[in-house]
Amino acid sequence: MNVLVIAVNAFREGIRKKTLIGLFIVAVLVIGSSTFLTVFSPGEEVKMVKDVCLAAISMFGVLIAIFTSGSMVPTEIENKTIYTVLSKPLRRFEYLLGKFIGIQLIVILNLALMALLCLAILWTRERIISTIMMKSVFLTYFELMIVSGFTFAVSVVSSSAVLPIICGAFIYLVGHLVEYLKGLSNHAQEGGHAIVAGLTRLLYLVLPDLSKFNLRDQLIHLAPNDPRIMVTMWTLVVFAFAHVAMAMLIAYVLFWRKEV
């Protein structure tokens, strides 16, 4: 019950933030402009709309997820409201879990609204509900959930939102270059650069491979309900939950040691 109350309060506080509202408005404008950008790709209007919509959802979705996850706890520490909350009969893990669930509700709401706008635009052109779009947004959420989890873990030991937001952006960007890090580590090892090789190998082993969530090509070239797609999608869901569980464990250990 405590977790649910904290989650609802976190959701209410989060959706009122001006930065979050601003990001969402810009996202809507970008998605809406996709209908006008089709003049640059005659004969491929639908593909252009899908590409712009998915890119906008991914870009603004990660910005919303990182900002919300990185600022939730530091804001409460800065406003000193966290002391009032933790003075009640409430376990720290319940507090963290409630906050994280509230953050996810905010991310899901924003993704859902952006996806509905994209589906509406595509409906005016194809007169069908785009299964590719829906599955791509579904996978995008779980990708963002991983980034959100580790950003949140950093935020619990930060008194400012700047550091967790930077860390969240780093995790997202480098998470899409994990396979590149593996090759870079091997190349550095062959060149005798042991420190660089060790560092890149460590990043390769520690950071989640977010590029796995980009299944757009498979969704296009395989049937929507192809068993291979479904198996891959649900494997990625398990992958996401495993990393989020790890992030929440890290957050709890760090927050348990923090004096608040």
Mean local confidence (pLDDT), 222-238: 76
Question: What pLDDT shows up at residue 181?
Answer: 77
Residue, of 90 and 238, whose pLDDT is higher: 238
Question: What pLDDT shows up at residue 7?
Answer: 92
Is the model's pLDDT at 191 over the cut of 90? no
Tens of pLDDT, residues 111-123: 999 999 988 888 8
Give the pair of three-digit tokens for residue 98: 């409630």
Query: Do residues 155 and 249 lie in contact, with contact meaning Cβ atoms separated by under 8 Å?
Result: no
Highest mean pLDDT among 47-51, 133-137, 195-199: 133-137
Question: What pLDDT shows up at residue 39?
Answer: 59
Question: What pLDDT shows up at residue 135?
Answer: 84
Q: What is the C-alpha to C-alpha distance for residues 60 and 24, in angstroms, rounded to an integer?
A: 7
Q: Within a 13 Å sphere around the CA of 251, how many CA atoms are in the beta-carbon half? A: 28
Q: For the chain, give the percent of residues with pLDDT over 70.
A: 90
Q: What is the C-alpha to C-alpha distance for residues 147 and 167, in angstroms, rounded to an integer?
A: 9
Tens of pLDDT, residues 122-181: 888 777 777 777 888 899 999 999 999 999 999 998 888 899 999 999 999 988 887 787
Return all residues near 221 (Cβ < 8 A) that are at least 6 apart.
none
Q: What is the C-alpha to C-alpha distance for residues 102 and 114, in angstroms, rounded to an integer?
A: 19
Res. 59 pLDDT band, cuts 50 70 90: very high
Domain definitions of the chain by residue range: 2-175+215-257
**Cβ atoms within 10 A of the Cβ of 38, count?**
17
Is the model's pLDDT at 27 over the cut of 70? yes
Q: What is the C-alpha to C-alpha distance for residues 210 and 188, in angstroms, rounded to an integer?
A: 23
Separation in Å, CA 218 to CA 44, 46, 47, 228, 230: 19, 18, 15, 9, 11
Query: Do residues 160 and 77 lie in contact, with contact meaning Cβ atoms separated by under 8 Å?
Result: no
Is the model's pLDDT at 219 over the cut of 70? no
CA-nearest of 97, 47, 37 to 72 is 97
Question: What pLDDT shows up at residue 220?
Answer: 53
The size of the chain, in residues, is 260
Highest mean pLDDT among 3-17, 174-188, 192-206: 3-17
Mean local confidence (pLDDT), 199-224: 73
88-92, 128-132, 198-202, 211-215: lowest mean pLDDT where? 128-132
Mean local confidence (pLDDT), 59-88: 87
62-66, 112-116, 159-163, 222-226: lowest mean pLDDT where? 222-226
Taking all residues of the chain, what is their mean pLDDT, rounded to a whole number?
84
Res. 44 pLDDT band, cuts 50 70 90: low
Separation in Å, CA 70 to CA 78, 109, 133, 158, 253: 13, 18, 28, 9, 17
The burial class, CB within 10 Å (0-12 / 13-18 / 19+), for 217 is exposed
Which 8-state DSSP code applies to residue 182? H
Q: What is the C-alpha to C-alpha distance for residues 205 and 190, in angstroms, rounded to an integer?
A: 19
